[in-house]
A and B are shown apart, each in its own frame.
Chain A
Amino acid sequence: MSEQTKANNVLVELKNINKMFLTDEVETHALNGINLSINKGEYLAITGPSGCGKSTLLSLLGLLDTANDGMYKLAGHDVSSLKRDERAKIRNSEIGFIFQSFNLISDLTVAENVELPLTYRKDLTKQQRAKNVQVALEEVDMAHRAKHFPSQLSGGQQQRVAIARAIAGSPSVILADEPTGNLDSKNAETVMSILDKLHANGATICMVTHDPRSAARSERIIEVFDGKIVSDQFNNDVTAIAV
């Protein structure tokens, strides 16, 4: 790959990111001088011990939080100092979230949950939204439960719906924080294979996990320790498989 094509391929670029929390006069340096770039189509795993800053890093990537300083470019645009609503717009169109605790909204049906991010857009008609929802639910094999409420689903099924919600708006990057953390190994396997499939179809995925087996399925593994990236290596096995 030439430098030129590589630069065009960069989706996320973090430079010297610092994040500090102030609680009861105590400063916690959650992130310390993070530099990271992620290419389009990459499947990245972030690992590290508990409390090292993985989730914080993912929140910054997902524009759920702002860094104290540093620069963040998403798809070539500087997003470090955008207004609240502009960030909401970017989250809506560019980013798909998958949470450890699913975070489906209990008052809404499966279909409504998946449709929710689409309703915040102005460019889609009702028919288009319904079609997107249908496609996303089929992708995770949950179309038959569209009218159910989250409380009627198992944890694994809820997480599949959550994935459908994340991909329904065709985001440029999917952010997942311990997506299998609340699931048993069988359900975890199903979820992981869906992520594999999405990646194979070209999705960019950034996943926090402390499960080495999950990490092993990604292309690139970043290890965070005490708010710093201490290792960043390509997962040769996976690359080998992928190639």
Chain B
Amino acid sequence: MSIGIDVKYAARLLVKKPAFTATTVFIIAIGLGLTLFAYSLLSSLIFKPLTMNTNQQFVTIEGEYDYSHAFRRSVDPFHLNQAVQEVDAIDDITFHGPGTALLSGLDTNVGTKKFNATFAKWNFFDVAGQQPIMGRDFTEADNFDGAEKVIMISYEVWQSYFKGISDIVDKMVNVDSEPMRIIGVMPENFSFPSHAQTWLLMPANQINPTKPSRNGAFGIARLKNSSSIEKLNQELSHYNQKAIAELPEEFNWRMRNNSGIYLQATAYKKANSDVREYYSIFISLLVVVFLILLLACINVGNLLLTRVNERYKEIAIRVALGVPRQRLIFQMLWESIFFCAIGAFIAFVLASWGIELTNAAFTRMFAVQQNQPFWWTLSIDADALLVLFVAILFMILITGLIPAWRALSGDFNSVLRDGTRGAMGKKASQTNQVLVISEILLSCIVLVIATILLTTSYFADKADYGVDTDKRITARLELPLEYYNVRRDTEFEAADNKKRNDFYYQLKSRLEELPTIEAVAYMTQLPGTGEGTSHFEIEGMEAEVYDENPVSNNEVIGRDSWRAVGMHIIQGRDFDDRDAVVGANSMIVNESIARELFPDGQAVGYRVRQISSRGEGDWQNIVGVVSDSYHGSAMDTSSAQYNSYHLMDARSRQSINIAIHYKGSELQAKQTLFDTLNATDANVAAYHIQSYQQLIQHPMMLVTTVSKIFLFCGVMAVLLAASGIYAVSANSITQKTQEIGVRRALGATDSNVMKLFLSQALIQLAIGLGLGIVLSMWVIKALQTTMIINDVSYIIGLVGMPLLIIAIVLLATFIPAKKVVEMEPSEALHHD
């Protein structure tokens, strides 16, 4: 059997040259391993439609994504209910809103614990295509006036919190101090829509409003198999026109961008805020990995090509002996198949390892807030294996066909006649030119993108948020509604306000009396985290159109909060009693606002007010200017640098963030907070207690994780690029040994020969780098839409990397060329 012989022959060649085999297999394993990993990552997180054991794809139906605040806009349930009647692509729609549920035992003897809750329409599990494993589903009747309040719990809550007791269904439990009946337990690992632990019904008037309302919800639907997201969006945009036209003027704020987009369908996974925010980073990862795969293919192709060159005479003899050319191609393909098979096996192991690390990173990342989307768990499934298989085929073709094409395009007769390679010299040098240029081109793009992302996330990680985070812990305080009423626009409002403030300030002074506590701050969002932007106008400097006014991030803060986070007043004064009275409307702005928007940087004494399409707020008096700090992650284009602060006393909050500057250990400080809180009011709970550093790193964790992947890609790309460029260039120079022998016989000096090679290298560099830089810029431009790339990253990427490649190419030219030059011409002439 001829195949048997071919296989044996190929196998023997592999064993005979272990170093060659190892190098080749390693390069293949890197290329394939990264491909498999990247596919698993991106398909789990983004591209593979979410179907959840149904045969239909889930989509979200929400408002337009708000990139400047990085949040998903909810829509009116009234419109969702109406839309489902008008569109064809979906059968039913359900909707939900996020929240929390503070559970405490009633029938069961369990402590108080807070869980993620999803407030939903009663058809939620129906649309999700999942029924409880115990008990019953929500029904429309649960929604009727006077019906008993019910709650659905997850398998995990049942197992851990309720200790898995068998008669859990129908038990009563306190949910935020309201007794409710547990109607069922959902299956294991079910946490739809994202990270739900309990499910509750929305209030009836929010599920079925009879006219446009101020309520907000996120829609979910299952797409009919005969339809598509595009089709659904077409139908929705028809509906939107109608809905917008009929919308009472008081709801104009729903259409803030005036883009005519209201209800909008998105593939379920793509609607995730993290994915939306870092979409271009994910896409660049895809590009980088694909380029590395190509680079690996070319490197391996070149290695095999070198081998063909070594065996060129043997191949010529085989052709002369009448071996058909297809047979020879197959013989070379066998070799590639062997390499790729072994490489694929190692790639599988590498990718599994990477997936394990990434899963662990995700677990860490979402641990504090328990909000890992359930599909953010990577695994190698059947279609990942299919992709691996396709990648292997692709690799076999490229790596096998480069050498085969080359081997069979020569003139065998002349090879046999006189043993020179004159006849194939020209083809060979063309192949080599193309190889070197592609190596340079690919390396350039991969390295530029990888380093820019890497350095950007590095600097973001090291970013100075304008605050001191050392020896600070933070937490979120939530005042239970049953003890701290919120009765807006009523006679009780002022009393409610005072009760909340009294609690906050009492806690602050109790803490600050302790010797281990230096200072306490309250802020709605602490610098380094969540931001928002609203337009504001300065009295006497108003813009014609509201949205041509500057924007700033607004925070509500407690008195005497600056020192606890290491900020300080620069002009004017801090908030005090004068600002606590109703109607004082005092405000503090940060240094950037004062410096850039006010004459001579003097902002104190001016009046400003918030303004939007909905109208304008009250005039606020600027009483002070505080040092700059930054909200949001430093990598994010929406990160706020203009900040305005309002005093908590007048706008007291039901929940707020606390930052504590302590002495001693972090653990001790957390305990102190816990104890003092209990002593002040045992009903108030603190959540997400963590160090300030942890809090700041949190929004960056996804980027940090992805940038580790980029670091790995970058290191591999440098390795592949350097070894590849060297091998290709050395190979092309070695092939010219004989020609150099001739030239030197004719009197070429060392510098003549060097110049010959260097000028060739420079041409290749010019073409490869030229194209490479242009293509990289194009990718960077896409990246810039969602992230800030700082100047140092640009320089390292667009100047440093090309210089690195130039250095590699020059070395890869110089070293082999020197070897050829130092050879005796007589030896060079007989080189083959």
Residues of A within 8 A of B (CB): 56, 59, 62, 64-66, 84-85, 88-89, 91-93, 97, 99-107, 116-117, 120-121, 149-151, 155, 165, 169, 182
CA gap between A100 and B429 in the complex, in Å: 23
CA gap between A202 and B610 in the complex, in Å: 103
- Please, which residues of chain A bring their CB within 8 A of the CB of B744? 64, 88, 91
Given contacts A64-B825, A65-B826, A101-B418, contact A89 B749 (CB under 8 A): yes
Q: Is the CB of B426 within 8 A of A107?
A: yes
- Please, which residues of chain B bring their CB within 8 A of the CB of A91? 744-747, 825
Contact of A89 among B420, B422, B743, B747 (CB under 8 A): B747
Contact of B423 among A88, A89, A117, A151 (CB under 8 A): A151
Show 14 residue pairs from A and B whose CB-CB distance is below 8 angstroms, ordered by the A residue. Answer: A64-B825, A64-B829, A84-B821, A85-B749, A85-B751, A89-B749, A91-B744, A102-B418, A103-B738, A103-B829, A105-B739, A106-B426, A107-B429, A151-B411
CA gap between A121 and B422 in the complex, in Å: 25
CA gap between A102 and B741 in the complex, in Å: 13
Given contacts A64-B826, A151-B422, A151-B426, contact A103 B742 (CB under 8 A): yes
CB distance from A156 to the nearest CB of B (A): 13
- Please, which residues of chain B bring their CB within 8 A of the CB of A103? 420, 422, 738, 741-742, 745, 829
Q: Which residue of B lies closest to A150 (CB)?
A: B422
B470 in the interface (beta carbon within 8 A): no
- Please, which residues of chain B bring their CB within 8 A of the CB of A62? 745
Given contacts A65-B825, A107-B425, A107-B429, contact A97 B746 (CB under 8 A): yes
CB distance from B353 to the nearest CB of A (A): 45
B16 in the interface (beta carbon within 8 A): no
Instruction: From A56, A92, A93, name the one whose CB has the most chain B CB atoms within 10 angstroms.
Output: A92
CA gap between A118 and B721 in the complex, in Å: 39
- Please, which residues of chain A bring their CB within 8 A of the CB of B680? none
Q: Which residue of B lies closest to A107 (CB)?
A: B426
CB distance from B78 to the nearest CB of A (A): 77
Contact of A120 among B411, B422, B747, B825 (CB under 8 A): B747
Q: Is the CB of B422 within 8 A of A88?
A: no
Interface size on B, residues (CB 8 A): 30
Instruction: From B423, B745, B749, name the one whose CB has the most chain A CB atoms within 10 angstroms.
Output: B745
- Please, which residues of chain A bring their CB within 8 A of the CB of B429? 107
Q: Is the CB of A66 within 8 A of B745?
A: no
Q: Is the CB of A88 within 8 A of B747?
A: yes
B417 in the interface (beta carbon within 8 A): yes
Contact of B742 among A59, A66, A89, A105 (CB under 8 A): A105
Q: Is the CB of A93 within 8 A of B747?
A: yes
Sorted from nearest, which 3 A-B pairs have the closest CB atoms?
A92-B747, A117-B746, A106-B425
Q: Is the CB of B422 within 8 A of A102?
A: yes
- Please, which residues of chain A bring their CB within 8 A of the CB of B748? 88, 92, 120
B419 in the interface (beta carbon within 8 A): yes
- Please, which residues of chain B bring their CB within 8 A of the CB of A97? 745-746
- Please, which residues of chain B bring their CB within 8 A of the CB of A100? 418
Q: Which residue of A lies closest to B744 (CB)?
A: A88
- Which residues of chain B from 777 to 832 have any CB-CB distance to chain A below 8 Å in the complex? 821, 824-827, 829
Sample of 17 more A-B contacts, CB < 8 Å, known A64-B744, A92-B747: A56-B826, A65-B824, A66-B824, A84-B749, A88-B748, A88-B749, A89-B749, A91-B747, A101-B419, A102-B418, A103-B742, A105-B739, A106-B425, A106-B426, A121-B747, A151-B422, A182-B417
- Please, which residues of chain A bring their CB within 8 A of the CB of B738? 103
CA gap between A236 and B826 in the complex, in Å: 33
CA gap between A67 and B812 in the complex, in Å: 32
Q: Which residue of A lies closest to B747 (CB)?
A: A92
- Please, which residues of chain A bring their CB within 8 A of the CB of B750? 84-85, 88
- Please, which residues of chain A bring their CB within 8 A of the CB of B369? none
Given contacts A103-B420, A107-B425, A151-B423, contact A59 B826 (CB under 8 A): yes
CB distance from B421 to the nearest CB of A (A): 9
Instruction: From B417, B747, B824, name the one whose CB has the most chain A CB atoms within 10 angstroms.
Output: B747
CB distance from A1 to the nearest CB of B (A): 32
CA gap between A102 and B418 in the complex, in Å: 10
B752 in the interface (beta carbon within 8 A): yes
CA gap between A48 and B429 in the complex, in Å: 38
- Please, which residues of chain A bring their CB within 8 A of the CB of B826? 56, 59, 64-65
Q: Which residue of A lies closest to B748 (CB)?
A: A120
CB distance from A187 to the nearest CB of B (A): 13
CA gap between A36 and B429 in the complex, in Å: 42
| Residues 415-451 of chain B, each 1 if its beta carbon lies under 8 Å from chain A, else 0 | 0011110110110010000000000000000000000
Q: Which residue of B lies closest to A63 (CB)?
A: B825
- Which residues of chain B from 714 to 750 have any CB-CB distance to chain A below 8 Å in the complex? 738-739, 741-750
CB distance from B92 to the nearest CB of A (A): 71
Q: Is the CB of A120 within 8 A of B426?
A: no
CA gap between A185 and B744 in the complex, in Å: 30
CB distance from A94 to the nearest CB of B (A): 9
CA gap between A155 and B423 in the complex, in Å: 12
Q: Which residue of A lies closest to B425 (CB)?
A: A106
CB distance from B615 to the nearest CB of A (A): 77
Given contacts A88-B748, A97-B746, A116-B746, contact A182 B824 (CB under 8 A): no
Q: Is the CB of B425 within 8 A of A116?
A: no
- Please, which residues of chain B bring their CB within 8 A of the CB of A56? 826
- Please, which residues of chain B bring their CB within 8 A of the CB of A102? 418, 420, 422
CA gap between A224 and B515 in the complex, in Å: 105
CA gap between A62 and B746 in the complex, in Å: 10
Q: Which residue of B lies closest to A84 (CB)?
A: B750
Q: Is the CB of B746 within 8 A of A101?
A: no
- Please, which residues of chain B bring their CB within 8 A of the CB of A59? 826
- Please, which residues of chain B bring their CB within 8 A of the CB of A155? 417-418
Contact of A165 among B425, B746, B829 (CB under 8 A): B746
- Please, which residues of chain A bring their CB within 8 A of the CB of B418? 100-102, 155, 182
- Please, which residues of chain A bring their CB within 8 A of the CB of B741? 103
- Please, which residues of chain B bring their CB within 8 A of the CB of A116? 743, 746
- Please, which residues of chain A bring their CB within 8 A of the CB of B411? 151
Q: Which residue of B lies closest to A21 (CB)?
A: B827
Q: Which residue of A lies closest to B824 (CB)?
A: A65
- Please, which residues of chain A bring their CB within 8 A of the CB of B742? 99, 103, 105
Given contacts A106-B423, A120-B748, A151-B423, contact A99 B829 (CB under 8 A): yes
Contact of A104 among B417, B422, B749, B752 (CB under 8 A): B422
